[in-house]
Amino acid sequence: MGRKGAASPEVLRGTDDGPSVGSVSRRPWPLGARVTALSATVLALLAFIAFGVTREATTVRTPSPALSRPATAPLKPAFTRAEEAYIQALWPIHGEVERSTVRLSLGKIFYKTNDIGKADLQARVDKALASYRTAETRIAALQPPPSFERAHDEYLAAVGLFQKSALEVLKMFEDGNDDHLLAAYPLSQEGSNKIREVGARFWQDEFPPN
């Protein structure tokens, strides 16, 4: 589809998929801030996608054999049965969080490049927010072993940050100010960082050390 000029005002019309929005001028972000935010988002998406495509939905992998590690690297103890059970219970929830985050992040990029409209973006935000709330309820119902209590709390905190980010984006549909996208970005980025830290412990093959 053809792209509109970044500085040209755009008349946004309501559709059946979202509330009507009056004539709103989409103010372009400053070039440096826009490029920085979009570049960082793309990098985060690549990390998420690389993680998802190398996993099977119901498989939890154990640490790599000793032969694949440097001779001087200490071997980590194998997960206990309780730890394995918790990781397996968390995995499908994590998959939903991952897919929602990727889809929403792509929606933000497509919106800023004029490839989707405001109604389409709002539909993505609403769906992601519902997914995060469901994930929060499911995670809170899990019983982590004592060794995983901190990781459990960190994952819950990450989902909470994703919810706050989505709620911040929703404000733009109330006042027409696209700057809420910039304000929402640090929240989602912090949430992604927390999940990566948890994933480096639970799914070591997908989150290798730098």
Q: What angle do CA 5, 7, 13 make, to 5 degrees?
A: 80
Q: Which pLDDT tens digit goes with each residue over 75-98?
A: 677 899 999 999 999 999 999 999
Residue 132 located in a structural domain? yes
Q: How many of the other CB atoms lie within 10 Å of CB of 148?
A: 23
| Domain encompassing residue 34 | 26-55+81-202
Residue 62 lies in a domain: no
49 within some domain:
yes
Tell me what pLDDT residue 77 has: 78
- Per-residue confidence (pLDDT) for residue 74, from 0 to 100: 59
pLDDT of residue 1: 44
- Distance in angstroms (rounded) separating the CA atoms of residues 119 and 123: 6
User: Does residue 41 lie within any of the structural domains?
Assistant: yes
- d(Cα 111, Cα 128) in Å, to the nearest integer? 16
Identify which of 3, 198, 195, 197 has the alpha carbon closest to the alpha carbon of residue 117.
3
Q: What is the pLDDT of residue 194?
A: 96
Residues of the chain with confidence (pLDDT) below 50: 1-27, 29, 31, 35, 42, 46-68
